[in-house]
Amino acid sequence: MGTVMFYQLLRSAPQDTLAVNAPRALGQGWRVMVRGTDPAALDRLDAALWLVGGDDSFLPHGREGGPHDPEQPVLLGLGGPVNGAKVLALVDGAAASDAEITAMERVWVLFDGNDPDRLHAARGQWKAVTGAGHAAQYWSEESGRWEKKAENAAR
């Protein structure tokens, strides 16, 4: 059972955080599933991930629904981690079941901290995750760099 890491995005977009975190996960040998709630938003994220980092960086990824989904190092979609992911990144208010959290090394909850509805939803997710006994960390970029604001150990 891994750790659920909440990222309160105040200055960055999801693609910026994914461009930093996903290569680290891949370096650990973990594949990543990015789950969203809106196909159009995932299309925009897909396009942005091709551009983030410019020519100096390449994040291998694909959109769910292709013939190579099981081999994708980073897969963007609405469903489950058919690529054998050990990291589940949740964007646009997506959620994970308790069983999914237990099966992952990491779950990243990326949310817009400037949106009161997303902030409220993330607080609800935090309570559910910690209430279920999962380890959780809360990160904010309020100061201009990522800082851990809270941590809850697994029970």
| pLDDT, tens digit, 9 for 90 and up, residues 126-140 | 999 999 999 999 999
Mean pLDDT of 8-29: 94
pLDDT by residue (tens digit) across 74-123?
Answer: 999 999 999 999 999 999 999 999 999 999 999 999 999 999 999 999 99
Describe the crossing of helices 39-51 and 14-27 by its angle, rounded to 10 degrees.
70
Place of tokens 């050990």: 86
pLDDT band for position 56 (cuts 50, 70, 90): low
d(CA 59, CA 90): 17
Residues 6+ apart with CB under 8 A from 152: 130, 135, 136, 137
Torsion of CA 4, 9, 15, 21, to 10 degrees: -40
Report strand pairing: 147-152 vs 135-140: antiparallel
Name the DSSP class of 133: T
Q: Can you give the pTM of this predicted structure?
A: 0.94
CATH assignment of 3-152? 3.40.50.10110
Q: What is the mean pLDDT of the chain?
A: 93
Continuous H helices in 58-140: 98-103, 116-131
131 C-beta neighbours (distance < 10 Å), count: 10
Question: Amino acid letter at 19?
Answer: A
**Helices and strands (DSSP H and E) totals, the chain:** 4, 8
